[in-house]
Amino acid sequence: MNDILYSPWRLQYILSNKDEECIFCTKPSEEKDKKHLILFRSNSCFVIMNIFPYNNGHLMVVPLKHVPNLNGLNKDEINDLFGTVQLCEKVVTKVYSPDGMNVGMNLEKAAGAGIDEHLHVHIVPRWNGDVNFMSTIGGTRVIPESFEQAYSKLKEQFDNEKTEK
C-alpha cells in the first residue's frame, strides 16, 4: 500500500490566477513591505521572503530593474545585488545558524526559473540532514516556522545591520 502525503499549500499556488504583471515589480512599488514580506531595500534591489520556501529563511534578492538576466544590469547594480546577497548571508547566518547555504539563480525558463522575466537570486539556508524522507520520497517540505515569526526575526536583524554600518 502506498502512503499519500499531502502538501495543500502548493495547490493554492498551482490553481491561483497568475498575475499578468510581474510580482517583483508590483510588490515593491506598493510600499507595503510587511504585507509582501519585503525585508530590506537597497539602492537598486530588495530582499523578499520566498512564500514557497525550500527551508526556513529562504530569501530572494531581486533587482528593482525588470531584467531577465545579469546582462541587463550595469556594474553598480551588479555590485549592489551581490552586496545585498552578502548581507543576506550574514543575516541568515545570525538568525538561523545554518550548517551551509545554497545561493543561486535560474536564468530563463529552461534553467528552471519560476519567474523567468525578472532576475532574482535565491538564498537557501541548509542544515545537515535537512533533506529527509518527507522531501525526498514525499515531495513535501516541512517548514516549522510561520511567515510572521520568520519575518519578525529577519527584519529585526536587517534593521540591526543597517545601524551597525
Q: Annotated active-site positions, please? A: 120
Q: Which of 150, 151, 143 is nearest to 9 (CA)?
A: 143
User: Residue 160 has what DSSP assignment?
Assistant: H
Tell me if residue 68 falls in helix, strand or coil.
coil
Phi, psi of 77 (to 5 degrees): -70, -40
Strand partners of residue 122: 60, 104
The three cell numbers locating residue 106: 535560474
d(CA 162, CA 87): 10
Q: Which of 146, 119, 117, 143 is nearest to 130 (CA)?
A: 143
Phi, psi of 61 (to 5 degrees): -105, 125
d(CA 144, CA 147): 10
